[in-house]
A and B are shown apart, each in its own frame.
Chain A
Amino acid sequence: MMKEALKVGAATLTAFVLYSLLGRIEPSLLLVLNTFTLVVIFFSMLKGELFGVLLGAFCGLLQDSFSLGVFGVAGLSKTLLGFVAGYISRKMNVFPFFRNFIFIFILATGELAVWAFFYALIFSRRVITGNALIFFQPLTTAVLGSLIFALARRLKTPQT
């Protein structure tokens, strides 16, 4: 249990470091790529839904604490994301490259939709799209996520 908690902590830290670096390089990149979403999907698919739920909650709340607004909106959407990513990836083989890409794209779109729904519901305002940059977020997450999985598979396969 302690080991799992440490892993959740390390994964959350990874997402946070990536977010800090991206924001420093170019703030608009944060709209195109949500590093917390990417990390939650990646680790949830590898470790299952329980790990995903915990990691999603942590990463979401961390994202909330570094943004102005209601604390818990990203927490909620990422908790659901972690669960769905972990649960489905255990039931279906979503690891082949193309299937992986589609699966991550659907997950990222769903997470963004849930977040946008709660944001609009609470604030009664339209979600800020940043000149439609935010709509590229699921695509970027899917491309990067499937590439990371492909790279991880290649590194894991013993070289002959």
Chain B
Amino acid sequence: MEMNELYTDIVKEYSISKHNQHNLADASIRVPGKNPSCGDEIELELKIDDGIVVDAAFTGIGCAISRASVTIMIDLIKGKTVAESKELADIFLKMATREDVCETDLEKLEDAAALQGVSNMPARVKCATMPWHTLCRALEE
């Protein structure tokens, strides 16, 4: 696979951007996410108010794929309801593991669809999915 299919312009831009990488002083939930084999280690913080994700951020260390994934995810879920966020996570996880996803659903992912390239790279799928699995765990709590 060509590197520019994995590290697309969108992935590069979000992996370098640090706009969601900080602590939330008034977070209502903090959930750790880990990929022990490659050393991605983040903490996702959400502020949920009346069933809506009012604010979100993360701290920690990760590779470009996981950083891009978590940054895009946070942009995407801010202002969405818990149910909508869960739906987005379901779509993303399906896309990353090469399950069928219809065009309308893929559009809902917006920039996160740029991470589709990892589905062709078994060694890197976990980097992209880890933030979304972490989100699912956070929303269940």
The judgment on whether A and B are partners is no
User: Which A residues have a C-beta under 8 Å from some C-beta of B?
Assistant: none
